[in-house]
Structure 1
Amino acid sequence: MLRKTLFVLAIASALAACGKESKDPGKGTGKDAKEQASASVNLLVSPEDVLTIQSNALASGPVITGSVQPERNADLRAEVSAVVIQVLKENGEAVKRGDVLVRLDETSIRDSLNSAEEASRASSQVLEQSERMFQRMKTLRASGMTSTQALEDAEIRRNNAQSDLSAAKSRAAQARQQLQRTLVRAPFDGIVSERKVSNGDTAQIGKELIRVIDPTSMRLEGLVSADKIGVVKVGQPVLFRINGYPGQDFAGKVRRVDPAANAVTRQVAVLVDFNDREQPRVAGLYAEGRIEAATVSALMIPDSALVKAGDQTYTWKIKDKALQKAVLRIGARDVRTGQWEVQSGLASGDTVLRTPGSTFKDGQKVELTASKATPAAAVASSSTAVAGKGN
């Protein structure tokens, strides 16, 4: 009886052990199963998620950096010492040539003008009287009724009166000119870029009052490294981008190359004109571009498609419906578009992910879809699909 009981217990233990092994294999091999499931997940991508590598024109020439500045600009300064009575224009306001921008106190200058005009009238009367006396003395001298000395004295008085009148007229003209300078006017059509005084300020001669620029006369005032200046010529095309205008390319031509480099920076100033009227209306914006001394054809890839890991740069290429890690050798960067030259690692016509993630695996299957889907949603959907297939 005991032997029969032990035999039954042995069979039960064996069955229990078999049941445990059949129930627990997931625990022992869970990690391997998870890795296999991850590797078998299909990545859903839409046409918007990929791009085709193509050969584009790469401008070969020196980089130019600088800022956009107006060719026509005027720093209006005080030409007389006076108190600022009124500032009629604010920053950003449009002005026409001849518009009054700043009004200075004219009280003392007008008093000087009145005094000079009064002195001029008095000198004129003295001159008329001296002239009549001189003519009378000439007549008397001709008839022998006066001396030569008296005639000469009359002539001297006439000449002195004439000099006094000229001086008085000069003082009056100067006072009128100073009176006109109490009204600071716009020298050309433009906008006020900087107001530097307020009502009540004391303006000494030479003090900056207001700045006016012509926004239609913008040009790029750039700098080029001295070791690259040998290939820069007047008339060469320039393509550049300007901060504040993302995605917009501007074109221009080299107008002037300075004959001397900066003694400190060893850079040479280069002036670039815009090709058209599509130019920024704001001065001082930073610009960066390249002078097209030569143009070559090269494979280009956007910065968003690159993944950097240490010194290595790679991208994810789609080949045979699977991801393939492509290690790249990158060349020059096109500052106009932000794209990089691909020297090796890709060929024309290769398809790569536009914005690759950090969880992709080499050999991961890719499924192209017709509709737009985010990578996260695509992975989640594909995981569900794989689970469904497994069931």
Structure 2
Amino acid sequence: MSIDTPSPAPVRVRRWRAPALALLALAAAGAGWAALQARATPPPAAAKAAPAAVVHELARDDVAAVAAGALSLTLPLSGSLVPLHQATVKAKVSGQVTEAAPREGAAVAAGQVLARLDDAEPRARLAQQQAALDEATARLSLATRHEAKHLTLLQQQYISQSAYDAAQNAVELARAGVQAAAAQRQMARIALADSVIRAPLAGIVSRRHVQPGEKLAPDMPVYSIVDLSRLTLEAQVPAAEIPRVKVGQPVRFQVDGFGGRAFAGAVARINPSAEAGSRAMLVYIAVDNADGALRGGMFAKGGIVTERAAVAPLLPLAALRGTAAAPLVYAIEDGQVVARAVTLGLRDDDQGYAAVSAGLAAGASVIVSRLDGVKPGQRVIFAAPAAPAPKG
């Protein structure tokens, strides 16, 4: 009996394994390439940080405070002080000086005796004229009595009309003689009074022209007197600036030697003609000198206030920015720069200020330095003051 042993079955190979292995190989290759790329490519940059706020450090001189005040426009001028009232006293009659007491710098009152002349001759002349008047008066009295007698004789028809007319004419001539003699006596009295020379005004003697013992002739100067209570400042102003000058405008000026003391005056008159050489016009300024501090001939320098504004915030012109039509300033408020549009009023380029009528109040702080990097919206701080140097 035979036993059949079965033969082994044939092995079947699965076809899906080949593609799978290929895919695995590709995946491995892709993973390796990605790893290489990851190493070669840098990591993405972090997000940019927000920019830090700009803070400017300013010096104290870069900022100015706006103060309130009354701005005025001033026209510069200079000139000499001249006494308003002064006189040179001259002799009216001839004679020898017997007295001349006041000296230069002495104060004299109006009517005070300055000098006396020898009055012997004028007294003798007065006596002579008095005698001539007495003689003329006696002739008039005699002629009047004769005229009365001739009138009686004429009424009785003892004399003719022509005889009476002659007597009447003698009276008229005698009366005229009396009047002439009286006039001559009055002239002699005036001559005697003129031998005493008096001050025509109150003031100070600026010069004594004669000495006792000198012989004077008529019209010779005796004394010069100035009244310093009122002075006139005569100043030259360019003709182009005259339209700005008006009578009554206030004037402020200074005189060397008074330590910066300011004196005041007012425009009193304006000369209508220009000076031939300078083409300037003289302006006469009345100055009250009640304390007598000023003297004639002193040189003064100052200005005429031609225009004055009301009290308003005064802005330094260095703080102006923008355009002339639309001015603005950089103000500092709570440590930040703020642009403020302003409306300007009166402007004084000489002093460097302008009155602000709108847009800025007194007490505000404005930047006056030209800092190109400082812009509106930025914050500012102030530099600390420098420490004092150590004492050696």
Number of the residue aligned with 1:252: 265
Number of the residue aligned with 1:220: 233
Q: Shift of the alpha carbon at 1:277?
A: 4.2
Number of the residue aligned with 1:241: 254
Give 1:22-33 correspondences, 5 Å limit. Answer: none
Residue of 207, 210, 214 corresponding to 1:194: 207
* C-alpha distance in structure 1 between counterparts of 2:250 and 2:368, whole Å: 27
Stretch deviating more after TM superposition (204-213 or 52-61): 52-61
Q: Shift of the alpha carbon at 1:101?
A: 0.8
SS in 2 for 1:199: coil
Unpaired runs of 5+ residues, structure 1, are 1-49, 301-331, 335-339, 350-364, 370-380, 386-391
Residue 70 in 1 paired to residue 90 in 2? no
Deviations 1:15-40 (A, max 9, x none): xxxxxxxxxxxxxxxxxxxxxxxxxx
SS in 2 for 1:292: strand
Deviations 1:114-165 (A, max 9, x none): 1111000011011101110111111111112223332222222222211111
Q: Shift of the alpha carbon at 1:192?
A: 1.4
Residue 368 in 1 paired to residue 391 in 2? no
Cα 1:200–1:119, aligned 2, differ >3 Å: closer, same or farther?
Answer: same
Residue of 85, 96, 106 corresponding to 2:119: 106
Structure number with higher helix proportion: 1
SS in 2 for 1:72: strand
Residue 271 in 1 paired to residue 284 in 2? yes
Aligned Cα root-mean-square deviation (Å): 3.4
Cα 1:142–1:211, aligned 2, differ >3 Å: closer, same or farther?
Answer: same
> Does the CA contact (< 8 Å) of 2:233 and 2:284 recur in 1?
yes
Residue 230 in 1 paired to residue 250 in 2? no
Taking structure 2 as the reference length, the TM-score comes to 0.60
Residue 204 in 1 paired to residue 239 in 2? no
Deviations 1:196-234 (A, max 9, x none): 222233333222211222221123222212222121111
2:90 alignment partner AA: R
Residue of 147, 152, 172 corresponding to 1:139: 152
* C-alpha distance in structure 1 between counterparts of 2:208 and 2:101, whole Å: 10
> Does the CA contact (< 8 Å) of 2:253 and 2:301 recur in 1?
yes
1:150 alignment partner AA: A
* C-alpha distance in structure 1 between counterparts of 2:257 and 2:240, whole Å: 30
* C-alpha distance in structure 2 between counterparts of 1:85 and 1:275, whole Å: 38
> Does the CA contact (< 8 Å) of 2:101 and 2:115 recur in 1?
yes
SS in 2 for 1:280: coil
Q: Shift of the alpha carbon at 1:89?
A: 0.8
> Does the CA contact (< 8 Å) of 2:231 and 2:289 recur in 1?
no
- Which structure: larger Rg? 2
Cα 1:164–1:281, aligned 2, differ >3 Å: closer, same or farther?
Answer: same
Residue of 77, 86, 99 corresponding to 2:99: 86
Give 1:1-391 correspondences, 5 Å limit. Answer: 60-274=73-287, 277=290, 280-294=293-307, 368=388, 385=392
SS in 2 for 1:224: strand
Q: Shift of the alpha carbon at 1:104?
A: 2.1
Taking structure 1 as the reference length, the TM-score comes to 0.60
> Does the CA contact (< 8 Å) of 1:244 and 1:285 recur in 2?
no
Cα 1:91–1:168, aligned 2, differ >3 Å: closer, same or farther?
Answer: same
Q: Shift of the alpha carbon at 1:59?
A: 5.7
Deviations 1:165-190 (A, max 9, x none): 11111000011112111211122322
1:194 alignment partner AA: R
* C-alpha distance in structure 2 between counterparts of 1:265 and 1:272, whole Å: 20
* C-alpha distance in structure 2 between counterparts of 1:267 and 1:190, whole Å: 32
* C-alpha distance in structure 1 between counterparts of 2:209 and 2:240, whole Å: 40
Instruction: Give the length in aligned residue pairs.
Output: 269
> Does the CA contact (< 8 Å) of 2:230 and 2:290 recur in 1?
no
* C-alpha distance in structure 1 between counterparts of 2:349 and 2:258, whole Å: 19
SS in 1 for 2:272: coil
Cα 1:53–1:171, aligned 2, differ >3 Å: closer, same or farther?
Answer: farther
* C-alpha distance in structure 2 between counterparts of 1:172 and 1:257, whole Å: 48
